Amino acid sequence: MKRMLLSFVLIVALSPCLWSPAIAGEDVNAKNKDGMTALMSAASAGNTDRIKLLLVAGADVKATNNEGETALYMAALAGQTDCMKALLAAGADVNAKNRNYDTPLMAAALLGQTDCVKVLLTAGADVKAKNNEGKTVADYAYATPEIAAALKAAGAVPPSGNKHINPKDGAELIFIPAGEFLMGGTDMVGPQHTVNLDGFWMYKTDVTVAQYKKFCAATVREMPSAPGWGWLDDHPIVNVSWHDAKAYADWADAALPTEAQWEKAARGADGRTYPWGNEWDATKCSNSVGNNNPAKTSPVGSYPAGASPYGCLDMAGNVWQWCADWYDANYYPNSLPHNPTGPITGTARVLRGGSWGNKVPDYFRAANRDWGGPEYRGDSGGFRCVLSSPGP
């Protein structure tokens, strides 16, 4: 499954002739060096009219490329529902498997393509099919609430082991699978680049006031100064420095997330702008954009519709979250491609996610970066933790 996104990106660079309109005499089933046909390229590009022309001209809807992927699989990767419907109407095999025995349904679920999942289920996709790792589609969609609900309704069995409770503080964690994702952006946050991470467990929500009180009691530590609204147990802890957050993580037998871990948990593998998708939606996180004026934090998990592709909550808004890394605005070009941990030294630590008090949507982008001195404390800053094991 880890090569799905790379396959999709590479398609854009394939033979130009595959993008031209079907013309008399064209071999509609010709393949390039990657085994790609004109039908596959049209499916990846979302060109439904081109697909219909090719089908009329005799394009083989069941042809596969060098990876065993069909045009339907390509359309599922790209989130092209109209293309999928045209291919299915022409006899595409809804359960065709690639070389790894991944199905179009698995591809769509992994990338959070909710509409595609629904189209495939309607067409009879097998929710119990297994790939060569012995996993079903549920293993790739357990933390995407809408997709998980659709799969459950279709008879999929939710996998075990995708959630974990830290016995030290009672925090619920969600497993973020190993693999590549797109990190960064094209503007001030740094160039977008591919990062490969090992699997890890991310706290589903920020550490709460109640959890931090337990930590202080266990370590004979004073609570920080209360915010203007006082301590509310189900709200995220605030007024904590990076050192405070690190001390909590050590006590909880956990760690602060690296900047890369945080971003993958927030945006998934498809490079989306916000945890919930590519369009700003003020109803999906705690913020002060426009007429919003919450004046304080919200209880953790108050915005389930704003969940990340894996099911992590409050990855945008409510409180800024400390990460383990030192901050360097120019770090990305020198970042390691596998499990980067940031610069070896610095003067400020990374903060991510935006807060209840921010008034500009850009602050809530999954790729947005901010920073603060390690001793900084504020009523809009908190944190969450990660564990490297166990894994499902």
Written as tens digits, the pLDDT of the chain (392 aa) is 544 444 444 443 343 344 444 455 679 999 999 999 999 999 999 999 999 999 999 999 999 999 999 999 999 989 999 999 999 999 999 999 999 889 999 988 888 788 999 999 999 999 989 888 777 887 765 445 678 778 878 887 655 456 788 889 999 999 888 889 999 986 657 788 999 998 889 999 999 999 999 999 999 999 999 999 999 999 999 999 999 999 999 999 999 999 999 999 999 988 899 999 999 999 999 999 998 889 999 999 999 999 999 899 999 999 999 999 999 999 998 899 999 999 999 999 999 999 999 999 999 999 999 999 999 999 999 999 999 865 44
Q: What is the pLDDT of residue 149?
A: 79
Q: What is the pLDDT of residue 4?
A: 47
Instruction: Give 346's contacts (C-beta < 8 A, 6+ positions apart).
Output: 326, 327, 328
- What percent of the chain is predicted at pLDDT more than 70? 88
Q: What is the pLDDT of residue 141?
A: 59
What pLDDT, in 10s, does the model give residues 202-222? 999 999 999 999 999 999 999
**Across-strand partners of 255?**
386
Q: What is the pLDDT of residue 10?
A: 43
End-to-end CA distance of the chain: 16
| Tokens encoding 367 | 């790729």
Spell out a b/e string for 316-339, using b for 16 or more CB atoms within 10 Å of the CB, else e.
Answer: bbbbbbbbbbbbbeebbeebeeee
Q: What is the pLDDT of residue 282?
A: 96
Class for the domain spanning 164-387: alpha beta
Q: What is the pLDDT of residue 274?
A: 96
Strand ranges, E, within the chain: 163-165, 172-176, 179-183, 193-197, 200-203, 320-326, 349-352, 370-372, 381-382, 386-387
What pLDDT, in 10s, does the model give residues 177-207? 888 999 998 665 778 899 999 888 999 999 9
Q: How many CA atoms lie within 13 A of 84 on its CB side?
A: 26
Fold annotation for 4-153: 1.25.40
Residues of the chain with CATH 3.90.1580.10: 164-387
From CA 348, how far away is CA 308, in angstroms rounded? 27
Residues of the chain with CATH 1.25.40.20: 4-153
- Residue type at 128? K
pTM (predicted TM-score): 0.62
Q: What is the pLDDT of residue 21?
A: 47
